[in-house]
Amino acid sequence: MSSSRDFVRFLLPVVVLAAGIALWELVVRVNDIQPYVLPGPSAVFQTLVADWPVLSESLGVTLLTTLEGFIAAAIGGVALALLFNQSKWLEYSLFPYAVILQVTPVIAIAPLLLIYLQQQTAVIVCAWIVAFFPVLSNTTLGLNSVDRNLAGLFSLYGASRLQTLRYLKLPAALPYILGGLRIAGGLSLIGAVVAEIAAGTAGAGSGLAFRIAESGYRLNIPRMFAALLLLSVAGIVIYGLLALISHLVLRRWHESALRKEN
Amino acid sequence: MAGPALSDAMAVSLGDVTKVYDNGVAALGPFDLDVKRGEFVSLLGPSGCGKSTALRLIAGLTTPSSGVVAVSHHAKETRAGHDIGFVFQEPTLMPWASVQDNVRLPLKLAGMATTEADRRISEALAQVALSEFAAAYPRELSGGMKMRVSLARALVTRPDILLMDEPFAALDEITRFRLNNDLLELWRKLNMTVIFVTHSVFESVYLSQRVVVMSSRPGRVSAEFRIDTPEPRVEDFRMSASYAAYCREVSQALVPSYSGRTSA
């Protein structure tokens, strides 16, 4: 019963996807639309295969940037949250600026960063700026969500600050941290893409977003679609991986990872 | 916090203690309570009468606004010993840690060596009859079993004084009766002082040598009863006429605590 429902849940989106692709192909063929206006799915796929050497290299560049930005965001976000948690003064002094950094559109900051930093560094900084805030705010929330009685218990048994942090606050915050990382994964990809686009107009670069911009100038629309497809798949894989890690880490104890009854 | 000296026979002494919270609510006092070493005392009263506050004061989880809180501190044979064990109303377990790791917590915080800790943990788990659930996670246990884990965690430091804050209030009757019996047995065996907070007349009479009835706002002692029925008390005591008589007496003393309350 439940397995057949799982199957339907899996099947329906696939059917919708297949139908969408078929309709797209049909519209392109029936109306005889030229590839430089709108390529059909088959043309996109052919381009993907034919241009694979170029595209795969660009994919690697973008993924590396994303990974570096993500790691920087994860470390920076968690570390800042820990600092804020230990010192209210620090939190009051710095938190508003974290918010400002978050609400200022990164696409507007990117060109500025490219002036002062090397392109590779600027791209990573962009990815970091977009991705660190969800980690910071989620970790802060988690660190403050500790059960009061458990905190009382720790103080009753004379736990030091470090012990309380290590054995109580961090484990209690773990589900929140993982939730923040899941958001940060997708956001660091966006940050990397934004910076590449901003840098791409200056002429240097080789990431996927740069390929999109470049193909746009050359009216190589099928390659734009192919690169977009790769970006999209990369985003899905990143999200899936982080969700899987979160599930594996939490499955023994946290509500979010437990199998529902009935 | 080495409090004022206590005579050897005393475990806890509160003198003229008051507690006023920051928001101006007078929770307790003036309140006096002397508990002898090895005694089993219940604090009985309506919710909000300050009995939990009294317990938290004894545990050192909060400080009195005025008055003196004195708790006996024994020299311990190992540095991982702790004078006070505390059992909360909820099991208050760490959901991310297994049963044995939850029980290990006080020892780990005290920096006890693993082998000695392991021995103590299995001893504590045996005391609450949970040895075979050492590797289970809290969510896999029933409410009564979680409470037993919480009790094992309090016992693992071999405390002189066990403070219990309505520990069985959320459990069904049969489970509560069983845990009552287990607690009495542990108390007899381990020679502890137990201060037990409850709002159940029946529970307080069944367990204690002395029932301290409290009135609310602010919490004060309104009556005291000595329950002289000798140990060991077993289920028969629950059915006896003397038990019923004690319960009637204590209930009558509790009635004024509830009078003048708008909500029942």
Q: Is the same domain home to A46 and A27?
A: no
Do A26 and A67 fall within a single domain? no
Are A19 and A77 in a shared domain? no
State the best of A145, A155, A156, A255 to mutate against chain B, taking most chain B CBs within 10 Å. A156
Closest CA to A190 of A110, A96, A74, A100: A110
Between CA B122 and CA B134, with CA B128 as vertex, the angle to 5 degrees is 45
Residue A123 and residue A192 in contact, taking contact as beta carbons nearer than 8 Å: yes
Q: Does A131 lie in the same domain as A13?
A: no
Contact assessment for residue B209 and residue B19, using Cβ atoms and an 8 Å cutoff: no
Does one domain contain both A1 and A96? no
Smallest CA-to-CA distance from B103 within B142, B152, B148, B147 is with B152
Q: Hey, which residues 108-147 in chain A have their CB within 8 Å of chain B? A: 147
Residues A83 and A23 in one domain: no
Whether residues A82 and A179 fall in one domain: yes
For chain A, the domain total comes to: 2
Q: Which residues contact A163 (CB under 8 A, 6 or more apart)?
A: A154, B109
| B188-204 per-position pLDDT tens digit | 888 889 999 998 888 88
**Cβ contact A174–B96 (<8 Å):** yes
* Residue B30, preceding peptide bond in cis (omega within 30° of 0): yes
CB B95 within 8 A of CB B169: no
Regarding whether A238 and A113 lie in a shared domain, the answer is: yes
> Which of these, B51, B32, B31, B53, lies nearest to B42 by C-alpha position?
B51
**Which residues on adjacent β-strands are paired with residue B85?**
B162
Does one domain contain both A137 and A17? no
The answer on A144 and A79 residing in a single domain is: yes
Angle formed at CA B11 by CA B64 and CA B9, multiple of 5 degrees: 135
B119 token code pair: 């021995």
Q: What is the CATH number of the domain that holds A236?
A: 1.10.3720.10
Please give the distance of CA B40 from its chain centroid, rounded to a whole number: 9
- Angle (nearest 5°) at CA A161 between A160 and A162: 90
Determine contact: A152 vs chain B, CB below 8 A. Answer: yes
- Which DSSP category does B229 fall into? P
Which residues of chain B does A254 touch, with a Cβ-Cβ cutoff of 8 Å? 95-96
Any idea what DSSP says for residue A261?
Answer: P
Q: Are strands B66-71 and B26-36 parallel, antiparallel or unpaired?
A: unpaired
Range of the domain at A185: 36-261
Helix, strand or coil, per DSSP, at residue B33? strand
Same-domain pairing of A7 and A132: no
Alpha-carbon dihedral B167, B130, B85, B138, rounded to 10 degrees: -70
Nearest chain B residue to A253, by CA: B96
Distance CA B82, CA B75 (A): 10
> Tens place of pLDDT for every residue, chain A, 262 residues?
567 888 888 899 899 999 999 999 999 999 998 888 899 999 999 999 999 998 999 999 899 989 999 999 999 999 999 999 888 898 889 888 888 888 888 888 888 888 898 888 888 888 889 899 999 999 999 998 898 889 988 988 888 888 999 999 999 999 999 999 999 999 999 988 888 888 765 555 688 888 888 888 888 999 999 999 999 999 999 999 999 998 888 887 777 766 654 4
The token duo for A246 is 């979160």
Residue A188 and residue A216 in one domain: yes
Residue of B109, B137, B158, B166 best to disrupt the A interface, most CBs of A under 10 A: B109
Residue A22, both tokens: 């078929």
Q: Does A151 lie at the interface with B, CB-CB under 8 angstroms?
A: no
